[in-house]
């Protein structure tokens, strides 16, 4: 008899996680491996990718997702090394240093952020979907968006990029459903990715950046984020593994009939 343990089991599946060297990507790669998947961890920083791969018994490669040719190669390498691509998690994204009032956003800041957060997701979806369609075994694509896609607060560059990821997810879900490829998005809320350092108990916008660099000091938009985080219904920052658990749900047979959604994993952020 099939049990829920069978539904969640990813044994025999191959996953690729971009930006898997740190933070949420590292946790997702770890959770998928714990559920039985073979995982290819990619990151712009090969050292970080190798560290995650070493920890979870996976494979690693260097990949800058904003480089189209490198993305095509990385997906092909995943298939040639591990024999398939069943699960693709488009997690790589940047946010630090790109917020602030619109008048302060330079062309370079705009292009750099969109080249990773939007072009990168597109390149990976195109290469990943092509590999899945060619293999004919269906698959799962999980795009990492953000609560900022629905509730702006970091600034026009980041919030816009994450909203783009949501609509790309829905468009692809519609197009790829006949190929049995489910495409969904995770919308993480505040998730603390600074390792052993605990989240601030008396936060200010200077201390709130999950990865340590001040976000947008003095920016009223950022104050919105600060206010939301200090009133978060669950009362504390999320742990990266809470995103990992949700990714396993979206990667597994548990979510066989789920496609085109965004799943907020946000401690109630979007209720505010």
Closer residue to ligand NAD (CB): 1 or 69: 69
Q: Are 84 and 14 in contact (CB under 8 A)?
A: yes
Is residue 92 close enough to count as binding ligand NAD by CB under 6 A?
yes
Of 178 and 196, CB closest to ligand NAD: 196
Contacting residue, 210, 244, 264, 267, with ligand NAD by CB under 6 A: 210
Respond yes or no: is residue 95 known to be catalytic: no
Q: What is the C-alpha to C-alpha distance for residues 58 and 272, in angstroms, rounded to an integer?
A: 39
Binder to ligand NAD among 128, 188, 264, 267 (CB under 6 A)? 188
Near ligand NAD by CB under 6 A: residue from 19, 100, 128, 160: 19
Bridge partners, 59 (sequence order) = 40
Give the residue carrying structure tokens 């789920």. Answer: 258
Q: Near ligand NAD by CB under 6 A, which window of 23-31, 174-182, 199-207, 227-235?
A: 23-31
Residues 46-75 interacting with ligand NAD (rule: CB under 6 A): 48, 63-66
- Local structure of 139: helix, strand or coil: strand
Residue 37 or 158 with smaller CB distance to ligand NAD? 158
Contact flag: residue 159 with ligand NAD (CB under 6 A): no
Contact call for residue 191 and ligand NAD (CB under 6 A)? yes
* Number of neighbours of residue 83 by Cβ within 10 angstroms: 12
Question: Which one of the spans 13-21, 29-37, 212-220, 226-234 is the region binding ligand NAD (CB under 6 A)?
Answer: 13-21
Report d(CA 266, CA 8) in Å as an integer.
Answer: 22
Q: Is 184 in the site for ligand NAD (CB under 6 A)?
A: no
Residue 234 DSSP code: T
For the beta carbon of residue 108, count every other beta carbon within 10 angstroms: 8
CA distance 32 to 17: 9
Helix, strand, or coil (residue 188) = strand
In the complex, least distance from residue 69 CB atom to ligand NAD, rounded to whole angstroms: 14
DSSP per residue over 69-111, as a string?
HHHHHHHHHHHHHHS---EEEE-----TT--S-GGG--HHHHH
Task: Pick the catalytic residue from 95, 123, 158, 262.
Answer: 158
Nearer to ligand NAD, 83 or 212 (CB): 212
Q: What are phi and psi of 185, to 5 degrees?
A: -120, 145
Q: Where are the beta strands (DSSP E) in the chain?
A: 14-17, 38-43, 59-62, 87-90, 139-144, 181-188, 262-265
Please select the residue that binds ligand NAD; options are 15, 16, 17, 23, rule is CB under 6 A: 23
Binding footprint of ligand NAD on the chain (CB under 6 A)? 18-19, 21-25, 43-45, 48, 63-66, 91-95, 116, 120, 144, 146, 188, 190-191, 193, 210-211
Query: Looking at the annotation, which residues are catalytic?
Result: 158
């Amino acid at each position: 008899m099939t049990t829920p343990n069978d539904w969640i089991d990813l044994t025999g599946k191959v996953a690729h996680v971009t930006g898997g060297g740190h933070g949420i990507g590292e946790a997702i790669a770890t959770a998928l491996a714990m559920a039985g998947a073979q995982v290819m961890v990619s990151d712009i920083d090969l050292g970080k990718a190798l560290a995650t791969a070493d920890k979870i018994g996976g494979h690693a490669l260097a990949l800058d997702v904003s480089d189209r040719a490198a993305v095509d190669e990385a997906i092909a390498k995943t298939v040639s090394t591990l024999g398939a691509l069943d699960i693709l998690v488009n997690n790589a994204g940047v946010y630090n240093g790109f917020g602030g009032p619109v008048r302060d956003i330079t062309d370079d800041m705009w292009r750099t952020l969109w080249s990773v957060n939007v072009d990168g997701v597109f390149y990976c979806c195109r290469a990943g979907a092509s590999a899945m369609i060619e293999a004919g075994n269906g698959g799962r694509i999980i795009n990492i968006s953000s609560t900022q896609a629905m509730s702006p607060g970091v600034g026009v560059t980041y919030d816009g990029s994450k909203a783009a990821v949501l609509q790309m997810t829905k468009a692809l879900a519609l197009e790829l459903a006949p190929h049995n490829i489910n495409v969904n998005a995770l919308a993480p809320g505040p998730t603390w990715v600074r390792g052993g350092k605990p989240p601030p108990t008396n936060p200010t916008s200077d201390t709130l950046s999950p990865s340590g660099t001040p976000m947008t000091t003095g920016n009223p938009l950022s104050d919105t984020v600060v206010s939301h985080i200090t009133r978060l219904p669950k009362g504390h920052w999320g742990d990266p593994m809470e995103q990992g658990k949700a990714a396993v749900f979206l990667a597994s047979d548990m979510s066989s009939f789920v496609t085109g959604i965004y799943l907020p994993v946000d401690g109630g952020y979007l209720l505010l």
